[in-house]
Amino acid sequence: MKSDSSIQVPDELDLNAIPAHVAFIMDGNGRWAKKRLMNRAKGHEQGVQTVEEVVSACRDLGIGVLTLYAFSTENWARPKVEVKALMHLLKRFLRTKTEEIRKKDIRLNIMGQIERLPDDVRKEAEQAMAVTQKNSAMILNLALSYGAREEITRAVQQIAAKIKSGILEPKEITDKTVSDHLYTAGMPDPDLIIRTSAEFRLSNFLMWQAAYSELAFTPTLWPDFTRQEFYQILIDYQQRDRRFGKV
C-alpha cells in the first residue's frame, strides 16, 4: 500500500489527541478526469491511489476507525459503464490489497447492501472480511451500496421484528438500541467527517452517527487530496471546541 513516509508529521499535530473515527466523502473524481479530458473512470482509478494513501496515513497515526464512502445506494443510477468501472476497481482493490491490509492488522468491514453487489465483488468482499476479521489495529469501513436512510430503515425493521417476537419492549428502545442495529454497531461515532471537492452536504452518509461529528470541507478534488492536507485538517480539528451540546 502506498505510504509516503518521507512526509513528516507536523509538530503542531498532537499525537495524543488523534480522533478515534474519521470518515471521508470522497468526491470530485469525475471533475478531476473532466479537467484532463479523460473519462470519469480514470478519475475513480486515480482516486484509488488517494484511498491507499489515506488508509496508510490513518494506520500510521493510530486512528481506530476509518470509514470511506465508496459507493452510495444512489450511485446505482449512474450510467451502467461507470457502475461497471467502479465495481471493477473495487474488486481489484480487494483482490490486490487484502494481504497488505491483513499484514497491517487492519480489519476490513463492508457496510451497506452487500447482497446487491455483483457476485464476484461480493465474494472478494466476503473473503477480505473473513481473512481480516481478527485484526485489531484499525477498522477500515468501506461503505458500498450504502445509504443512511436504508441503514436506519433496516435498523427499524430489525428492532420491530424483535418487538414482534417478544424479546424487546417498545419502552426499552434507547439511542443505544438504534446504534446497535446500524452497520457501525460497536464502533465510536465519527469524530470528524471530511468531504472533498467543495460540496457542502452529507449526501445520505452516516446521518445518525454524525449527530456530533465535526465537519471539514475542502475544495481539493479527491484524486488530488494528500497526506499533508489531511494532517492540516487534523490540526484544525484539534483546535475546535467540542461541547456536545453542553457549555
Largest CA distance in the chain: 59
Is 75 in the active site?
A: yes
Contacts by 182-185, CB closer than 8 A, 24 or more apart: 182/151, 182/152, 182/155, 182/208, 182/209, 183/109, 183/111, 183/112, 183/141, 183/143, 183/146, 183/151, 184/67, 184/111, 184/141, 184/209
**Torsion 135-207-204-50 (CA) sign:** negative
C-beta of 82 vs 180, nearer to ligand FPP: 82
In this structure, are residues 147 and 206 in contact, taking their beta carbons and an 8 Å threshold?
A: no
**Active-site residue, from 27, 109, 189, 191:** 27
C-beta of 27 vs 151, nearer to ligand FPP: 27
CB of 162 to ligand FPP, least distance (A): 33
Rounded-to-integer distance, Cα 76 and Cα 81, Å: 11
C-beta of 86 vs 233, nearer to ligand FPP: 86
Is 16 in the active site?
A: no
* Residues near ligand FPP (CB under 6 A): 26-31, 44, 47-48, 51, 68, 70, 75, 86, 89-90, 93, 142, 197, 222
Helix 80-103 crosses helix 119-132 at what angle (to 10 degrees)? Answer: 20
C-beta of 93 vs 183, nearer to ligand FPP: 93
CB of 69 to ligand FPP, least distance (A): 7
C-beta of 27 vs 124, nearer to ligand FPP: 27
Rounded-to-integer distance, Cα 179 and Cα 20, Å: 17
**How far is the CA of 142 from the CAs of 26, 30, 39, 90, 114, in angstroms?**
11, 20, 24, 10, 11
CB of 75 to ligand FPP, least distance (A): 5
User: Closest-CB residue for ligand FPP?
Assistant: 30
**Active-site residue, from 39, 60, 75, 224:** 75
DSSP string, 29-64: HHHHHHHTT--HHHHHHHHHHHHHHHHHHHHHHT-S
CB of 99 to ligand FPP, least distance (A): 15
CB of 9 to ligand FPP, least distance (A): 24
Q: Which residues are catalytic?
A: 27, 75
